[in-house]
Structure 1
Amino acid sequence: MYFLCASNLIVKFADDTTVLGLISNNDETNYRTEVQQLESWCHDNNLVLNTKKTKEIIVDFRKRGHNNHLPLFIGSEAVERVSSFKFLGVTVTEDLSWGNHITSVVRKAQQHLYYLRRLRSAHIPRSLMLNFYNCAISSVLTYGFLVWFPSCTKADQQALQRVVKEAGRIIGTSLPEISNIFPTRCLRRVHSILRDQHHPARHLFHLLPSGRRYRSIQARTSRLANSLYPQAVRLLNSLPPSHGQ
Protein backbone atom coordinates (compact mmCIF):
# COMPACT_ATOMS: atom_id res chain seq x y z
CA MET A 1 0.00 0.00 0.00
CA TYR A 2 1.46 3.36 -1.03
CA PHE A 3 0.37 6.82 0.08
CA LEU A 4 0.98 9.90 -1.99
CA CYS A 5 0.27 13.19 -0.21
CA ALA A 6 -0.10 16.49 -2.01
CA SER A 7 -1.56 19.39 -0.06
CA ASN A 8 -4.84 18.02 1.31
CA LEU A 9 -5.08 15.24 -1.27
CA ILE A 10 -4.38 11.65 -0.27
CA VAL A 11 -4.26 9.09 -3.07
CA LYS A 12 -3.90 5.38 -2.29
CA PHE A 13 -2.53 2.77 -4.65
CA ALA A 14 -2.73 -0.99 -4.14
CA ASP A 15 -0.82 -3.26 -6.54
CA ASP A 16 -0.53 -7.01 -7.08
CA THR A 17 -3.76 -7.98 -5.36
CA THR A 18 -4.82 -11.52 -6.26
CA VAL A 19 -8.06 -13.43 -5.74
CA LEU A 20 -7.97 -17.21 -6.20
CA GLY A 21 -11.03 -19.39 -6.47
CA LEU A 22 -11.36 -23.17 -6.62
CA ILE A 23 -14.50 -24.00 -8.58
CA SER A 24 -16.19 -27.33 -7.83
CA ASN A 25 -19.31 -28.78 -9.45
CA ASN A 26 -19.63 -25.68 -11.66
CA ASP A 27 -20.49 -23.58 -8.61
CA GLU A 28 -18.75 -20.20 -8.91
CA THR A 29 -20.74 -18.56 -6.11
CA ASN A 30 -17.90 -18.37 -3.57
CA TYR A 31 -15.46 -17.03 -6.14
CA ARG A 32 -17.76 -14.28 -7.37
CA THR A 33 -18.79 -13.43 -3.81
CA GLU A 34 -15.13 -13.00 -2.89
CA VAL A 35 -14.65 -10.56 -5.77
CA GLN A 36 -17.71 -8.61 -4.67
CA GLN A 37 -16.39 -8.46 -1.11
CA LEU A 38 -13.05 -7.17 -2.39
CA GLU A 39 -14.85 -4.51 -4.39
CA SER A 40 -16.90 -3.51 -1.33
CA TRP A 41 -13.82 -3.39 0.89
CA CYS A 42 -12.03 -1.14 -1.60
CA HIS A 43 -15.04 1.15 -1.78
CA ASP A 44 -15.27 1.37 2.01
CA ASN A 45 -11.56 2.21 2.24
CA ASN A 46 -11.58 4.87 -0.50
CA LEU A 47 -9.90 2.64 -3.07
CA VAL A 48 -11.03 2.22 -6.67
CA LEU A 49 -10.28 -1.00 -8.55
CA ASN A 50 -8.90 -0.27 -12.01
CA THR A 51 -10.83 -2.76 -14.13
CA LYS A 52 -8.71 -2.01 -17.20
CA LYS A 53 -5.64 -3.29 -15.34
CA THR A 54 -7.46 -6.25 -13.81
CA LYS A 55 -7.17 -9.59 -15.60
CA GLU A 56 -8.85 -12.95 -15.11
CA ILE A 57 -7.28 -16.26 -16.04
CA ILE A 58 -9.14 -19.58 -15.84
CA VAL A 59 -7.33 -22.90 -15.47
CA ASP A 60 -9.76 -25.59 -16.57
CA PHE A 61 -8.63 -28.99 -17.83
CA ARG A 62 -12.10 -30.46 -18.35
CA LYS A 63 -12.76 -31.86 -21.79
CA ARG A 64 -16.28 -30.42 -21.75
CA GLY A 65 -17.61 -27.14 -20.50
CA HIS A 66 -14.29 -25.36 -20.11
CA ASN A 67 -15.47 -22.57 -22.42
CA ASN A 68 -18.78 -21.98 -20.64
CA HIS A 69 -17.56 -19.59 -17.95
CA LEU A 70 -19.56 -16.39 -17.55
CA PRO A 71 -17.68 -13.08 -17.63
CA LEU A 72 -16.63 -11.53 -14.34
CA PHE A 73 -17.84 -8.01 -13.57
CA ILE A 74 -16.46 -5.37 -11.26
CA GLY A 75 -19.24 -2.85 -10.97
CA SER A 76 -20.62 -2.56 -14.48
CA GLU A 77 -17.34 -3.33 -16.26
CA ALA A 78 -16.35 -6.77 -17.44
CA VAL A 79 -12.90 -8.01 -16.48
CA GLU A 80 -10.68 -8.97 -19.40
CA ARG A 81 -10.03 -12.71 -19.60
CA VAL A 82 -6.50 -13.62 -20.71
CA SER A 83 -4.67 -16.83 -21.55
CA SER A 84 -1.47 -15.79 -19.77
CA PHE A 85 -0.16 -13.08 -17.48
CA LYS A 86 2.94 -12.28 -15.46
CA PHE A 87 2.55 -12.76 -11.72
CA LEU A 88 5.44 -11.75 -9.47
CA GLY A 89 7.86 -12.17 -12.35
CA VAL A 90 6.61 -15.60 -13.49
CA THR A 91 4.51 -15.98 -16.64
CA VAL A 92 1.50 -18.15 -15.83
CA THR A 93 -0.63 -19.63 -18.63
CA GLU A 94 -4.11 -21.11 -18.56
CA ASP A 95 -2.75 -24.59 -19.35
CA LEU A 96 -0.01 -24.30 -16.69
CA SER A 97 2.72 -24.82 -19.26
CA TRP A 98 5.98 -22.94 -18.82
CA GLY A 99 7.20 -22.45 -22.37
CA ASN A 100 6.30 -18.75 -22.42
CA HIS A 101 8.06 -18.10 -19.13
CA ILE A 102 11.21 -19.97 -20.13
CA THR A 103 11.35 -18.21 -23.50
CA SER A 104 11.19 -14.90 -21.63
CA VAL A 105 13.90 -15.71 -19.07
CA VAL A 106 16.20 -17.24 -21.71
CA ARG A 107 15.91 -14.08 -23.81
CA LYS A 108 16.70 -11.90 -20.79
CA ALA A 109 19.65 -14.07 -19.73
CA GLN A 110 21.06 -14.04 -23.26
CA GLN A 111 21.02 -10.25 -23.18
CA HIS A 112 23.09 -10.36 -20.00
CA LEU A 113 25.65 -12.58 -21.75
CA TYR A 114 26.68 -9.47 -23.68
CA TYR A 115 27.92 -7.86 -20.47
CA LEU A 116 29.72 -11.06 -19.53
CA ARG A 117 31.59 -10.92 -22.84
CA ARG A 118 32.50 -7.31 -22.16
CA LEU A 119 33.93 -8.32 -18.79
CA ARG A 120 36.02 -10.99 -20.49
CA SER A 121 37.26 -8.45 -23.05
CA ALA A 122 38.29 -6.20 -20.17
CA HIS A 123 40.31 -9.11 -18.68
CA ILE A 124 38.27 -9.11 -15.47
CA PRO A 125 39.30 -11.93 -13.08
CA ARG A 126 37.36 -15.15 -13.44
CA SER A 127 36.07 -14.95 -9.86
CA LEU A 128 34.39 -11.62 -10.61
CA MET A 129 32.87 -12.98 -13.81
CA LEU A 130 31.48 -15.88 -11.79
CA ASN A 131 29.95 -13.39 -9.36
CA PHE A 132 28.36 -11.55 -12.26
CA TYR A 133 27.03 -14.82 -13.69
CA ASN A 134 25.45 -15.80 -10.37
CA CYS A 135 23.91 -12.36 -9.83
CA ALA A 136 22.75 -11.43 -13.34
CA ILE A 137 22.31 -14.67 -15.29
CA SER A 138 21.82 -17.66 -13.00
CA SER A 139 19.43 -15.67 -10.81
CA VAL A 140 17.32 -14.87 -13.89
CA LEU A 141 17.29 -18.47 -15.12
CA THR A 142 16.32 -19.89 -11.73
CA TYR A 143 13.82 -17.30 -10.46
CA GLY A 144 10.76 -19.20 -9.22
CA PHE A 145 12.72 -22.33 -10.08
CA LEU A 146 10.97 -24.71 -7.71
CA VAL A 147 7.56 -23.81 -9.13
CA TRP A 148 8.11 -24.37 -12.81
CA PHE A 149 11.22 -26.48 -13.39
CA PRO A 150 9.73 -29.89 -12.44
CA SER A 151 7.02 -29.46 -15.09
CA CYS A 152 9.03 -27.93 -17.92
CA THR A 153 9.76 -29.98 -21.03
CA LYS A 154 13.08 -31.43 -22.12
CA ALA A 155 13.25 -28.80 -24.86
CA ASP A 156 12.78 -26.07 -22.25
CA GLN A 157 15.51 -27.56 -20.08
CA GLN A 158 17.85 -27.69 -23.06
CA ALA A 159 17.15 -24.02 -23.85
CA LEU A 160 18.10 -23.10 -20.28
CA GLN A 161 21.19 -25.29 -20.36
CA ARG A 162 22.43 -23.69 -23.60
CA VAL A 163 22.62 -20.35 -21.81
CA VAL A 164 24.53 -21.94 -18.92
CA LYS A 165 26.92 -23.65 -21.33
CA GLU A 166 27.57 -20.42 -23.24
CA ALA A 167 28.21 -18.54 -20.00
CA GLY A 168 30.69 -21.24 -18.94
CA ARG A 169 32.47 -20.97 -22.28
CA ILE A 170 32.79 -17.19 -21.90
CA ILE A 171 34.08 -17.44 -18.32
CA GLY A 172 36.32 -20.38 -19.14
CA THR A 173 34.99 -22.76 -16.51
CA SER A 174 32.43 -25.51 -16.02
CA LEU A 175 29.16 -24.32 -14.48
CA PRO A 176 26.57 -26.48 -12.65
CA GLU A 177 24.02 -27.98 -15.02
CA ILE A 178 20.56 -26.53 -14.65
CA SER A 179 19.06 -29.98 -13.96
CA ASN A 180 21.46 -30.53 -11.04
CA ILE A 181 20.43 -27.30 -9.30
CA PHE A 182 16.82 -28.36 -8.71
CA PRO A 183 17.41 -31.32 -6.31
CA THR A 184 19.71 -29.26 -4.09
CA ARG A 185 17.34 -26.31 -3.84
CA CYS A 186 14.29 -28.52 -3.49
CA LEU A 187 15.75 -30.45 -0.57
CA ARG A 188 16.89 -27.22 1.07
CA ARG A 189 13.34 -25.87 0.86
CA VAL A 190 11.78 -29.11 2.08
CA HIS A 191 14.03 -29.32 5.14
CA SER A 192 13.11 -25.72 5.89
CA ILE A 193 9.41 -26.67 5.71
CA LEU A 194 9.90 -29.69 7.97
CA ARG A 195 11.58 -27.51 10.59
CA ASP A 196 8.70 -25.03 10.54
CA GLN A 197 5.80 -26.33 12.62
CA HIS A 198 3.46 -23.68 11.19
CA HIS A 199 4.28 -23.97 7.49
CA PRO A 200 1.01 -24.52 5.52
CA ALA A 201 2.59 -27.29 3.41
CA ARG A 202 4.06 -29.26 6.29
CA HIS A 203 1.03 -31.56 6.46
CA LEU A 204 1.94 -32.93 3.01
CA PHE A 205 4.94 -34.76 4.44
CA HIS A 206 3.89 -37.84 6.45
CA LEU A 207 6.43 -40.34 7.72
CA LEU A 208 5.46 -43.98 7.23
CA PRO A 209 5.33 -46.24 10.31
CA SER A 210 8.92 -47.31 9.60
CA GLY A 211 10.01 -43.72 10.24
CA ARG A 212 12.46 -43.90 7.33
CA ARG A 213 10.38 -42.93 4.31
CA TYR A 214 7.64 -40.42 3.58
CA ARG A 215 4.24 -41.32 2.22
CA SER A 216 4.02 -40.64 -1.51
CA ILE A 217 1.54 -38.00 -2.62
CA GLN A 218 -1.11 -39.60 -4.80
CA ALA A 219 -1.45 -37.97 -8.21
CA ARG A 220 -3.97 -38.84 -10.89
CA THR A 221 -2.23 -36.72 -13.54
CA SER A 222 1.37 -36.39 -14.64
CA ARG A 223 1.00 -32.64 -14.15
CA LEU A 224 0.51 -33.10 -10.42
CA ALA A 225 3.07 -35.92 -10.19
CA ASN A 226 5.72 -33.65 -11.70
CA SER A 227 4.92 -30.70 -9.45
CA LEU A 228 7.01 -29.56 -6.49
CA TYR A 229 5.68 -31.49 -3.50
CA PRO A 230 5.39 -34.97 -5.08
CA GLN A 231 8.90 -34.45 -6.48
CA ALA A 232 10.11 -33.34 -3.06
CA VAL A 233 8.77 -36.50 -1.41
CA ARG A 234 10.51 -38.66 -4.00
CA LEU A 235 13.77 -36.81 -3.41
CA LEU A 236 13.46 -37.25 0.36
CA ASN A 237 12.84 -40.96 -0.06
CA SER A 238 15.91 -41.30 -2.29
CA LEU A 239 18.20 -40.02 0.47
CA PRO A 240 19.92 -42.21 3.05
CA PRO A 241 17.80 -42.40 6.24
CA SER A 242 20.06 -40.04 8.21
CA HIS A 243 19.59 -37.32 5.58
CA GLY A 244 15.90 -37.81 4.81
CA GLN A 245 14.62 -37.00 8.26
Structure 2
Amino acid sequence: MDYSKKQEWHYQPVRISGTKVERVDSFRYLGVHISQDLSWSRNTNSLAKKARQRLYHLRRLRDFRLPSKVLRNFYTCTIESIFTGNITVWFGNSTKQDRQTLQRVVRSAEHITHTELPDLQSIYYKRCQTKARRIVKDPTHPNNRLFSLLSHHKATLAAKS
Protein backbone atom coordinates (compact mmCIF):
# COMPACT_ATOMS: atom_id res chain seq x y z
CA MET A 1 0.00 0.00 0.00
CA ASP A 2 1.24 3.42 -0.93
CA TYR A 3 -0.60 6.35 0.67
CA SER A 4 1.28 9.09 -1.16
CA LYS A 5 -0.59 11.38 -3.49
CA LYS A 6 1.53 10.51 -6.51
CA GLN A 7 -0.44 9.92 -9.66
CA GLU A 8 2.01 7.39 -11.08
CA TRP A 9 3.15 4.37 -9.15
CA HIS A 10 6.10 2.24 -10.10
CA TYR A 11 5.87 -1.10 -8.39
CA GLN A 12 8.09 -4.09 -8.70
CA PRO A 13 6.09 -7.00 -10.08
CA VAL A 14 5.06 -9.60 -7.52
CA ARG A 15 5.92 -13.18 -8.43
CA ILE A 16 4.56 -16.38 -6.96
CA SER A 17 6.46 -19.53 -7.94
CA GLY A 18 8.08 -17.53 -10.72
CA THR A 19 4.75 -16.40 -12.21
CA LYS A 20 4.04 -12.67 -12.33
CA VAL A 21 0.86 -11.73 -10.42
CA GLU A 22 -1.52 -9.51 -12.36
CA ARG A 23 -2.07 -6.09 -10.80
CA VAL A 24 -5.67 -4.83 -10.75
CA ASP A 25 -7.33 -1.63 -9.55
CA SER A 26 -9.94 -3.54 -7.57
CA PHE A 27 -11.34 -7.00 -7.08
CA ARG A 28 -14.41 -8.56 -5.56
CA TYR A 29 -13.93 -10.91 -2.63
CA LEU A 30 -16.88 -12.48 -0.81
CA GLY A 31 -19.21 -9.87 -2.27
CA VAL A 32 -17.08 -6.86 -1.27
CA HIS A 33 -15.23 -4.69 -3.81
CA ILE A 34 -11.74 -3.96 -2.49
CA SER A 35 -9.76 -1.29 -4.34
CA GLN A 36 -5.99 -0.77 -4.37
CA ASP A 37 -6.36 2.58 -2.58
CA LEU A 38 -8.62 0.99 0.08
CA SER A 39 -11.50 3.35 -0.63
CA TRP A 40 -15.01 1.92 -0.51
CA SER A 41 -16.53 4.02 -3.30
CA ARG A 42 -16.65 1.21 -5.84
CA ASN A 43 -18.23 -1.08 -3.26
CA THR A 44 -20.74 1.63 -2.33
CA ASN A 45 -21.67 2.28 -5.96
CA SER A 46 -22.17 -1.42 -6.57
CA LEU A 47 -24.40 -1.79 -3.48
CA ALA A 48 -26.42 1.32 -4.32
CA LYS A 49 -26.98 0.20 -7.90
CA LYS A 50 -28.17 -3.24 -6.83
CA ALA A 51 -30.43 -1.75 -4.15
CA ARG A 52 -31.96 0.80 -6.55
CA GLN A 53 -32.82 -2.03 -8.93
CA ARG A 54 -34.73 -3.70 -6.09
CA LEU A 55 -36.58 -0.43 -5.31
CA TYR A 56 -38.36 -0.87 -8.64
CA HIS A 57 -39.90 -4.11 -7.36
CA LEU A 58 -40.81 -2.45 -4.07
CA ARG A 59 -42.66 0.29 -5.98
CA ARG A 60 -44.50 -2.30 -8.03
CA LEU A 61 -45.64 -4.07 -4.86
CA ARG A 62 -46.80 -0.73 -3.44
CA ASP A 63 -48.78 -0.10 -6.62
CA PHE A 64 -50.63 -3.36 -5.93
CA ARG A 65 -51.66 -1.77 -2.61
CA LEU A 66 -49.93 -4.31 -0.41
CA PRO A 67 -49.86 -3.45 3.31
CA SER A 68 -46.89 -1.51 4.67
CA LYS A 69 -45.92 -4.50 6.79
CA VAL A 70 -45.47 -6.64 3.67
CA LEU A 71 -43.55 -3.86 1.90
CA ARG A 72 -41.26 -3.45 4.89
CA ASN A 73 -40.63 -7.19 4.99
CA PHE A 74 -39.77 -7.15 1.28
CA TYR A 75 -37.39 -4.23 1.89
CA THR A 76 -35.67 -6.04 4.77
CA CYS A 77 -35.21 -9.25 2.81
CA THR A 78 -34.20 -7.85 -0.56
CA ILE A 79 -32.71 -4.38 -0.09
CA GLU A 80 -31.47 -4.05 3.48
CA SER A 81 -29.80 -7.45 3.18
CA ILE A 82 -27.69 -6.08 0.30
CA PHE A 83 -26.28 -3.37 2.56
CA THR A 84 -25.88 -5.40 5.71
CA GLY A 85 -24.34 -8.60 4.38
CA ASN A 86 -20.78 -7.36 5.00
CA ILE A 87 -21.49 -4.03 6.67
CA THR A 88 -18.98 -4.62 9.47
CA VAL A 89 -16.21 -4.89 6.87
CA TRP A 90 -16.66 -1.63 4.97
CA PHE A 91 -19.02 0.76 6.78
CA GLY A 92 -16.58 1.94 9.46
CA ASN A 93 -14.07 3.17 6.87
CA SER A 94 -16.46 4.47 4.23
CA THR A 95 -16.64 8.19 3.49
CA LYS A 96 -19.48 10.45 4.53
CA GLN A 97 -20.44 10.78 0.86
CA ASP A 98 -20.59 6.99 0.42
CA ARG A 99 -22.76 6.64 3.53
CA GLN A 100 -25.08 9.37 2.29
CA THR A 101 -25.41 7.61 -1.08
CA LEU A 102 -26.64 4.46 0.62
CA GLN A 103 -28.81 6.31 3.13
CA ARG A 104 -30.64 8.00 0.22
CA VAL A 105 -31.71 4.54 -0.95
CA VAL A 106 -33.03 3.82 2.57
CA ARG A 107 -34.97 7.12 2.56
CA SER A 108 -36.46 6.24 -0.83
CA ALA A 109 -37.60 2.92 0.59
CA GLU A 110 -39.13 4.73 3.59
CA HIS A 111 -41.09 6.93 1.21
CA ILE A 112 -42.32 3.91 -0.75
CA THR A 113 -43.25 1.81 2.29
CA HIS A 114 -44.61 4.69 4.38
CA THR A 115 -42.72 3.29 7.38
CA GLU A 116 -39.64 4.28 9.32
CA LEU A 117 -36.67 2.07 8.50
CA PRO A 118 -33.46 1.66 10.51
CA ASP A 119 -30.56 3.81 9.33
CA LEU A 120 -27.36 2.07 8.28
CA GLN A 121 -25.33 3.59 11.13
CA SER A 122 -27.61 1.92 13.70
CA ILE A 123 -27.45 -1.40 11.90
CA TYR A 124 -23.65 -1.16 11.75
CA TYR A 125 -23.33 -0.47 15.49
CA LYS A 126 -25.70 -3.29 16.36
CA ARG A 127 -23.81 -5.77 14.15
CA CYS A 128 -20.45 -4.73 15.62
CA GLN A 129 -21.75 -5.13 19.16
CA THR A 130 -23.14 -8.56 18.34
CA LYS A 131 -19.80 -9.66 16.85
CA ALA A 132 -17.91 -8.32 19.85
CA ARG A 133 -20.17 -10.14 22.29
CA ARG A 134 -19.68 -13.42 20.42
CA ILE A 135 -15.91 -13.01 20.51
CA VAL A 136 -15.87 -12.18 24.22
CA LYS A 137 -18.10 -15.17 25.05
CA ASP A 138 -15.95 -17.59 23.05
CA PRO A 139 -12.64 -18.22 24.86
CA THR A 140 -11.38 -20.23 21.86
CA HIS A 141 -11.78 -17.30 19.46
CA PRO A 142 -8.36 -15.96 18.37
CA ASN A 143 -9.38 -12.36 19.18
CA ASN A 144 -10.93 -13.14 22.57
CA ARG A 145 -8.01 -11.66 24.54
CA LEU A 146 -7.70 -8.52 22.41
CA PHE A 147 -10.59 -6.67 24.04
CA SER A 148 -13.28 -6.96 26.64
CA LEU A 149 -16.72 -5.40 26.64
CA LEU A 150 -17.47 -2.54 29.01
CA SER A 151 -20.31 -3.05 31.42
CA HIS A 152 -23.50 -1.25 30.40
CA HIS A 153 -22.87 1.46 33.02
CA LYS A 154 -19.26 2.07 31.88
CA ALA A 155 -20.29 2.07 28.21
CA THR A 156 -22.95 4.68 28.93
CA LEU A 157 -20.42 6.88 30.73
CA ALA A 158 -17.88 6.46 27.92
CA ALA A 159 -20.48 7.43 25.30
CA LYS A 160 -21.37 10.60 27.24
CA SER A 161 -17.77 11.81 27.51
Interval containing the TM-score (normalised by the shorter chain): 0.7 to 0.9
How large is the Cα RMSD of the aligned pairs?
2.7
Q: Secondary structure at the match of 1:96?
A: coil
Given candidates 97, 115, 119, the residue that maps to 1:177 is 119
Q: Secondary structure at the match of 2:48?
A: helix
The corresponding residue for 1:157 is 99
The corresponding residue for 1:186 is 128
Given candidates 12, 15, 18, the residue that maps to 1:70 is 12
Shift of 1:67: 4.4
Q: Secondary structure at the match of 2:102?
A: helix
2-structure distance, mates of 1:93, 1:204: 28
Q: Report the number of matched residues.
A: 157
The corresponding residue for 1:217 is none
Q: Does 1:135 find its partner at 2:90?
A: no
Give TM-score scaled by structure 2 length.
Answer: 0.85
Q: Which structure has the greater CA radius of gyration?
A: 1
Shift of 1:183: 1.4
Identity %: 40
- Larger RCO (alpha carbons 8 Å, 6+ apart): 2
Q: Where does the alignment leave 5 or more consecutive residues of structure 1 unmatched?
A: 1-58, 214-234
2-structure distance, mates of 1:237, 1:157: 29
Question: When you count helix as a share of all residues, which structure comes out higher?
Answer: 2
Report 1:36-185 matches (<5 A): 59-61=1-3, 67=9, 69-74=11-16, 77-185=19-127
Q: Secondary structure at the match of 1:176?
A: coil
* CA shift in 2, pair 1:135/1:206, >3 Å: closer
The corresponding residue for 1:40 is none
Is the contact made by 1:60 and 1:94 (CA closer than 8 Å) also made in structure 2? Answer: no
User: Which 4+ stretches in 1 moved above 4 angstroms?
Assistant: 74-77
Letter in 2 for 1:197: P
Q: Does 1:238 find its partner at 2:155?
A: yes
Give TM-score scaled by structure 1 length.
Answer: 0.57
1-structure distance, mates of 2:46, 2:137: 35
